[in-house]
Chains A and B, each alone.
Chain A
């Protein structure tokens, strides 16, 4: 029997195990939407903006590990997905995005709602396709899911001209796939792994830095085994939070620009850095030439381009983190003699001293609400058992610092691109995947306004997502830089009275709005919100002056940190302290 392109598309999605699509309709995808009208097994979640659809698919993917799927129309629908696609690309998130396109014969004619989305997204997708013949459609969809979810995952876009969705052909689902030009390396080189094991055994001051690759590869168990067996302290990059329990004694929290003193200090003192599924982003390394100056570096990553891109590497291992760690653990427990017991004691003691010397801190003695207090309370009340998304800015950094993520896939945040407006739609995607989990977007009053329309999506679909706005009436993170480095000249960061009444906004969308203006109101508001089985927007009116500390100024080494105490003592005059 012959099927139309639209029918084939839906059949393929079902074959791929897809249950939900996030999308938005338009002229050239009408045939597909019509097909969806009677569809029982596939449900389309209508967002209120295409960017929201892609972020929601991304949140779904981060929470589950499966590819997220979005469907949009041509032209503006397609261009609206670009930020979402770039966000996913930077953080290696598997997505398959379908964009409608004008009919094949009109392509290149500047037709109504035509945009060269394949050209536009070429640099921010892992791969993209223009389907020119309905006969290729099934094969292309198969390849798209394969490319998106294997190797280093990433977003794939499929551009579907309108005539391809109506043309008919026999539907043949390719059961297996092989591409001669795409063969990711999964097994690490045995000899290199053995070198790594010996280096670990001999090291006096080793540190693990774990990144998002550990979570993507599902290697948390192997990482914990490695750390506990060889007594290795673990720092986690923003993308790696949750890869290793944040409340574990060996956890150092996050390193880098807003990292903990003890993570940065341990890295700078270390003689062996074991980088796992991370890519030495400049927010992690600070000044590269001064990064981990005494350390030999082992780098495990599935993407060869990550290795020796930003820092020198002594022992490179290309492969899937889970497989490499499994082998590494075997070697460490087998051929390598355990010789580290004593030396590690001294190192871990030194790290405990670092921790005691400068713990993460803030002024706990105030009536005004400190944002860190809100996050600690959320952590306490959820017992760490929630999925947290964030926006971008101070809200994101405070969350990374003060919430202890113990499990992978519970912290969803735009790390690489730093996309304001990510958190709410991502929370919707995660809530769809886990209807019974508490899903909370920790937001800023600036960021939340970038995709606030998705409240409608949450309300109509009964997704009980919670949004905790840390409302400082400023584009806080930018203001912080202006305060510290631009003589308090708050050029275009003061939102002030332009900040809308979020409680009223919530109510207008038929969600629940709550507000806290005093510290004592924080806990009751949170408790109430968590009880309500509907979307709730919480407006926490916080101290606008609060900053994220510690902070490594741009271009400085990661142990040249600014601390709350010093900045307070020195009044206005700021100096980096070593």
Chain B
């Protein structure tokens, strides 16, 4: 089972390796991880996408909470929430596909953020399904590079104050 977990941490030296070390040391898997400061620069938020059965997820939740620098752990499964991810896709279409690529980008509300003689770079934001869909469609036209931010998530009514 896939879970998106938000982890509020003290923005301290080494905190990322404490969290990632916990996952590798205990054999939990990380599908994506993104980190950034919150409004309060002393606190960062990590969004981790992981998977496991209920036992594993319960352990992940507890083990994260046990880390000294972790302030709060929220499993987004339990909350109404919004998830987003941004990707940058560099495509190198044949001449006859160029117009089609632009059309697809538009349909997905992507933006062309760079272009060269041979390539377009498209920026797309969305949830997992949307990203998967555009990748599927663009693939036959020649994706040269593909970079993603990893998922971020926010609870609908905002995380409760710690």
Q: Which residues of B contact A130 (CB under 8 A)?
A: 13-14
Q: Is A147 an interface residue (CB 8 A)?
A: yes
Q: Would B62 and A181 count as touching, CB distance under 8 A?
A: no
**Contact status of A305 and B63, CB under 8 A, knowing A122-B14, A122-B21, A181-B10:** yes
Q: Is A119 an interface residue (CB 8 A)?
A: yes
Q: How far is it, in angstroms, between the C-alpha of A309 and the C-alpha of B59 when the chains are bound?
A: 7
Which of B10, B14, B66 touches A305 (beta carbons < 8 Å)? B66
Does A126 reach chain B (CB closer than 8 Å)?
A: yes
Q: How distant is B70 from chain A, measured CB to nearest CB, in Å?
A: 6
**Cβ of A118 < 8 Å from any Cβ of B?**
yes
Inter-chain CA distance A126–B66, complex, in Å, is 9
In the complex, what residues of B have CB within 8 A of residue A147's CB?
68
Residues of B within 8 A of A293 (CB): none
Q: Of residues 119 to 138 in A, which have CB atoms within 8 Å of B's CB atoms?
A: 119, 122-123, 126-127, 130, 132
CB distance from B35 to the nearest CB of A (A): 16
Query: Residues 102-146 of chain A: 1 if any B CB is under 8 Å from the residue's CB, otherwise 0?
Result: 000000000000000011001100110010100000000000000
The tally of residues in A whose CB lies under 8 Å from a CB in B reads 18
B residues less than 8 Å from A182 (CB atoms): 68
Interface string of B5-41 (1 = CB under 8 A from A): 0000110011001100100010000000000000000
Q: Bits for A28-60, please: 1 = Cβ < 8 Å to B, else 0.
A: 000000000000000000000000000000000
Smallest Cβ-Cβ distance to B60: which chain A residue: A305
A119 to B17, CA, bound (A): 9
CB of A323, distance to nearest CB on chain B (Å): 20
B68: contacting residue among A118, A126, A305, CB under 8 A: A126
Closest to B71 in A: A181
Query: Chain A's nearest CB lies how many Å from the CB of B6?
Result: 15
Q: Tell me if A222 is interfacial: C-beta within 8 Å of chain B.
A: no
Complex alpha-carbon distance, A303 and B62, angstroms: 9
Residues of A within 8 A of B9 (CB): 181
Q: Is the CB of A122 within 8 A of B18?
A: yes
Contact with B along A179-192 (1 / 0, CB 8 A): 11110000000000
Provide the residues of chain A in CB contact with B63, threshold 8 Å: 305
Give the docked Cα–Cα distance between A365 and B63 (Å): 52
* Contact of A122 (CB < 8 Å), options: B17, B58, B62, B162: B17
Question: Smallest Cβ distance from A371 to chain B, in angstroms?
Answer: 37
Q: Is B119 part of the contact surface with A, judged by Cβ < 8 Å? A: no
Given the complex of chains A and B, what is the CA–CA distance between A182 and B21 in angstroms? 19
- Which chain B residues in 114-149 approach chain A with CB under 8 Å? none
Cα distance A309–B56 in the bound complex, in angstroms: 9
Asked if B69 is at the interface of the complex by the 8 Å CB criterion, the answer is yes
Which chain B residue lies CB-closest to A147? Answer: B68
**Closest chain B CB from A365 CB (angstroms):** 50
Query: Contacts of B66 on A, CB cut-off 8 Å?
Result: 303-305
Q: A296 to B45, alpha carbons, bound, how many Å? A: 39
Tell me if B65 and A304 are in contact (CB < 8 A): yes
The contact string, 1 if C-beta is below 8 Å from chain A, for chain B 43-75, is 000000000000100110011011011110000
Closest B residue, CB atoms, query A143: B68
What 1/0 mask marks residues of chain A from 309 to 339 whose CB sits below 8 Å from any chain B CB?
1000000000000000000000000000000
Q: Note all chain B residues with C-beta closer than 8 A to A308.
A: 55, 58-59
Query: Please, which residues of chain A bring their CB within 8 A of the CB of B25?
Result: 123
Q: Mark A474-493, 1 if CB is under 8 A from B, else 0.
A: 00000000000000000000
The answer on a CB contact under 8 Å between A180 and B162 is yes
The answer to whether B68 and A181 touch across the interface, beta carbons within 8 angstroms, is yes
With a cutoff of 8 Å between Cβ atoms, the chain B residues found around residue A118 in the complex are: 14
Closest Cβ of chain A to B42, distance in Å, is 10
Q: How far is the CA of A275 from the CA of B128 in the complex (A)?
A: 44
Q: Which residues on A sit within 8 Å (CB–CB) of B71? A: 180-181
B59 CB contacts on chain A under 8 angstroms? 305, 308-309
Q: Which residues of chain B are near A127, meaning CB under 8 Å?
A: 68
CA distance A181 to B69 in the complex (A): 6
Residues of chain B within 8 A (CB-CB) of A132 are 13
| Cβ of B67 to closest chain A Cβ, rounded Å | 8
Q: Which residues of A contact B (CB under 8 A)?
A: 118-119, 122-123, 126-127, 130, 132, 147, 179-182, 303-305, 308-309
16 contacts between A and B (CB under 8 A): A119-B17, A123-B25, A130-B13, A147-B68, A180-B71, A180-B162, A181-B9, A181-B10, A181-B68, A181-B70, A182-B68, A304-B62, A304-B66, A305-B66, A308-B58, A309-B59
- Given A122-B14, A130-B14, A308-B55, 6 new contacts (CB under 8 A): A118-B14, A130-B13, A181-B10, A303-B66, A304-B65, A304-B66
